[in-house]
Amino acid sequence: MDDGDIRYDESGFLEVEDGTRIFYGIRGRGGSTPALLNDGIGCDGFVWRYLHPHLAESRLVVHWHYRGHGRSGSPEDHANLTIEGLARDARTLLDHLGIDQVVTLGHSMGTQVGLELYRLAPQRVRGMIFSCGSYGRVTHTFHGTDVLSQLLPGIRSVAKRHRGMARAIWGRVPTPLALRLAKLSGEVDSVTIREEDFRRYWEHIAVMDPDVFLTLLDAAGEHSAEDLLEQIAVPCLVIAAERDTFTPPELAEAMTNAIPGAEMIVLRGGSHAAPVEQPMTVQLRVDKFLLERVDEALDAQHAAT
């Protein structure tokens, strides 16, 4: 089954605690630790376009859509649109699939979701890979200032009062113009980003409920897992991008230093969309980490028992 550019061997829906239907897809096979892909806000898989099929060659890969994203339903009560709420959804999904342990891969806000899943159920996580993400309060660090966090409440208020207008404006910017603006502002790497990759992201953003997006952005901006970092006892790989304006590399360095034994790589010239800008580099580094820090450690553990 295909979902845009992502192919699944099987897919389905599950109903979580408040009745919201969550979509998931499964691909791959093999004895290695399964991988759980956690998207960034407003995404339904575009950033995994190259890494997803590569990982599926050696392990089971589970990809899911957050509530209000992609093929998942939008919750009637937006109170559950929180990082902690998404982590609970992830745990429910693992229970539903009968998967005991995973290595989590998170892009952007998916980093925060992975951290909260570890806080919620540390025994379910064998390793974590964070890509262009932070442990929290992301709206306070956008472009090195807290301007976004200050403006966001007003933007949300206007969007709620004028829902029809917000939806109309939200989806009106054509992909070529949006990509040009993103390149000019430095939000993506103008040299390596492919228009077809950006289009997948922008087309999904255009059909999202603006209130879902803004509510989650606010939640991600106020959430922090900084207190958890020094308690993490599984292997972690932090992938940063040199020109990431949303989660600058200094945040990734601080997170790496706080997590015992964590590793870090900086993608030169990369932006917040680095996994689709530099897919081969990301694949090679992820492979090395999974082999040396996760899979071989699991093999050694099995041999000892």
What is the Cα–Cα distance from 127 to 263, expressed in whole angstroms?
Answer: 12
Domain 2-136+229-304's class?
Answer: alpha beta
What pLDDT sits at residue 151?
Answer: 45
Q: What are phi and psi of 161, to 5 degrees?
A: -75, -25
**For residues 149 and 221, is the Cβ–Cβ distance under 8 A?**
yes
Sequence-ordered list of residues with C-beta below 8 angstroms from that of 191, at least 6 positions apart, any chain: 269
Q: CA-CA distance, 158 to 59, in Å (whole number)? A: 45
Is residue 70 classed as helix, strand or coil in its secondary structure?
Answer: coil
Per-residue pLDDT at 166: 52
Question: What distance in Å separates the CA atoms of residue 74 and residue 81, rounded to the nearest whole number?
Answer: 9
- Local confidence pLDDT in tens for the 305 residues of the chain: 545 567 899 999 999 989 999 999 999 988 899 999 999 999 999 999 999 999 999 999 999 999 999 999 998 888 889 999 999 999 999 999 999 999 999 999 999 999 999 999 999 999 999 999 999 988 777 656 564 555 445 554 544 554 555 555 556 677 887 888 778 777 888 888 888 898 888 888 888 888 898 899 899 999 999 999 999 999 999 999 999 988 999 999 999 999 999 999 999 999 999 999 999 999 999 999 999 999 977 666 666 65
pLDDT of residue 143: 59
Cβ–Cβ under 8 Å, residues 77 and 99: no
Of residues 149, 66, 146, the one with CA closest to residue 106: 66
Quick one: pLDDT at residue 182? 79
Tell me how far apart the alpha carbons of residues 211 and 154 are, in angstroms, rounded to a whole number.
12
Residue 210, classed as helix, strand or coil, is helix
The conformation of residue 224, written as its DSSP 8-state character, comes to: B
Integer Cα distance of 58 and 286 in angstroms:
12
Within 10 Å of residue 5's Cβ, how many Cβ atoms? 16
